[in-house]
Amino acid sequence: MSKKKAAIISILGYLVTMGIGVFIGNVVTTLLGSNVLGTMNMNQSNIIYKLIIQIPPTLFILYMIKKYYKWNEIGLSSSIEIKSLLWFLPYLIILVFMGSKFIEEFYKNISAYRIGTYILIIFIFVGTAMAGFSEEVIFRGIFLNSFKSEKSIIWPMLISSIGFSISHITTVVMGNSLLEALTTVFYSSLLGFAFVGLAIKMKNICLLIIFHILWNFILMASQTLNLQLSISVGICNILNIFMAIILWSIIIIKYKKCKKHGKRKVS
């Protein structure tokens, strides 16, 4: 099977298995005596529900990678160019600042936490780890690297970014209203357009996965523990806009120059 066909199957399978996860999660939480559909309250049942949702698509993606891809083919390489890290530096600064604030607020309230609280935090981390890994691998790993070439790079970047943002419409089954889901789609599109540019420049998605996981974890854990974070979320949205504009401009200009001179490499 060609890499392009495998990529299409991967995305379709990701959506189908996500639906299976939603069904299983709803059944399990109903058996536990809670109906999580229609609510975004970060209680025990909702956290378990979100964790269960991520299991089927994550297992499916790992299967597709093992069967059709090599890790380095989809940007999961242990090597990364030092100079390309400069593009990721602004996100690293935001993550450090946000993480420091989270730890500070956590320790302020640590005396009020019980063993159940720590178990929920572990569940949140596992769930966000699977979600961050799956989304980055599907959209910035498998799809982008299967379709981009010396003849075509803009359309794969565009579809990857839009596909990533549209996939967040599924939050309507996790308790978001349609308006809230569309708002999530909009803000995730800012991240999607910036991160696809970073994936091209860095030729590696490992740091993007780490950022995605920690970002989601801090946001969800803070909401669960009622911790007050800084304005990092707003700053990151602004950064995404500037990074998307800069990276897309650089990549498009280089792509056109390479195409004009018959070169095969765009980075």
- SS3 labels along 54-74: HHHHHHHHHHHHHHHCCHHHH
Q: Is residue 21 part of a domain?
A: yes
- When divided into structural domains, the chain yields a total of 1
Q: Is residue 249 part of a domain?
A: yes
Residue of 17, 67, 254 whose CA lies nearest to 157: 254
Which residue is listed with tokens 């940007």?
75
pLDDT digits (tens, 9 = 90+) for 174-228: 666 677 778 888 888 999 999 999 999 998 999 999 999 999 999 889 888 888 7
Count of C-beta atoms within a 10 Å radius of residue 57? 25
Q: Is residue 265 part of a domain?
A: no
pLDDT digits (tens, 9 = 90+) for 236-258: 889 999 999 999 999 988 888 77
Note the pTM of the prediction, 2 decimals.
0.89
Tokens of 140: 């910035």
Q: How far apart, in whole angstroms, are the C-alpha atoms of residue 146 and residue 157? A: 11
Q: Is residue 254 part of a domain?
A: yes
Structure confidence at residue 65 (pLDDT): 94
Residue 134's alpha-carbon distances to 11, 46, 109, in angstroms, are 10, 20, 32
Tokens of 239: 């950064």
Q: Is residue 267 part of a domain?
A: no
Q: Is residue 106 part of a domain?
A: yes
Instruction: Give the residue numbers spanning the domain of 26.
Output: 3-260
Q: Is residue 101 part of a domain?
A: yes
Residues 6+ apart with CB under 8 A from 144: 75, 156, 157, 160, 196, 199, 200
